[in-house]
């Protein structure tokens, strides 16, 4: 190898390697802080009442402020079968979600102020930057493991019972 080639490799390879190492360390720090942030969510229970009258009970973490909603379920590697996250907005508006940094596929249930599910995005794609929209104003979004809607027969029109929504009939 020529001296010039050795000099070029030293000159340009080391900074690139350093940037890679710093980038990997930063990613680890972000993942660790995400897990810590996930522990700061309050938890609660909610029920979904299907059109057939079945009541399905879930343990959910609550994302009630902008920081919590931005964090969501990012970096989580697993989610218990009957658990999820409820995003509460406090007023009805059209909501858009994405799956950036979200490792597991999710079902997203878009919920009106009266607790009625108006749309479901099933089996969303992990890490996708594609926008997933409610398509109409909603007050909340419930995220559960991908496939839960199909497995339990949850459909638009079913009702979510939780204090974030007005009492459903």
Give the C-alpha separation, 156 to 161, whole Å: 14
Give pLDDT tens digits for 22-63. Answer: 343 333 433 443 444 445 899 999 999 999 999 999 999 999
Give the C-alpha separation, 100 to 94, whole Å: 19
Whole-prediction pTM value?
Answer: 0.77
Give the C-alpha separation, 96 to 27, whole Å: 25
Between 3.20.20.70, 2.60.40.1220, 3.40.50.620, 2.60.120.1140, what CATH number should domain 42-161 receive?
A: 2.60.120.1140
Report yes or no: 114 and 157 within 8 Å, Cβ to Cβ: no
Give pLDDT tens digits for 58-101. Answer: 999 999 999 999 999 999 999 999 999 999 998 999 999 999 99
């Amino acid at each position: 190898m020529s001296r010039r080639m050795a000099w070029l490799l030293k000159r340009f390879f080391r900074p690139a390697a350093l940037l890679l190492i710093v980038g990997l360390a930063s990613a680890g720090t972000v993942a660790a802080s995400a897990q810590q942030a996930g522990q700061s969510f309050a938890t609660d229970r909610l029920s979904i009442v299907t059109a057939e009258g079945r009541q399905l009970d879930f343990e959910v973490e609550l994302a009630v402020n902008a920081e919590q909603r931005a964090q969501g379920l990012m970096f989580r590697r697993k989610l218990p079968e009957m658990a999820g996250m409820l995003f509460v907005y406090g007023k009805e508006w059209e909501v858009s979600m994405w799956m950036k940094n979200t490792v597991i596929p999710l079902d997203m249930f878009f919920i009106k102020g009266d607790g009625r599910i108006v749309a479901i995005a099933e089996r969303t794609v992990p890490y996708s930057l594609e926008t997933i929209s409610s398509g109409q104003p909603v007050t909340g979004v419930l995220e559960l493991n991908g496939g839960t809607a199909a497995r339990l027969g949850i459909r638009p029109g079913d009702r979510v019972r939780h204090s974030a929504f007005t009492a459903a009939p």
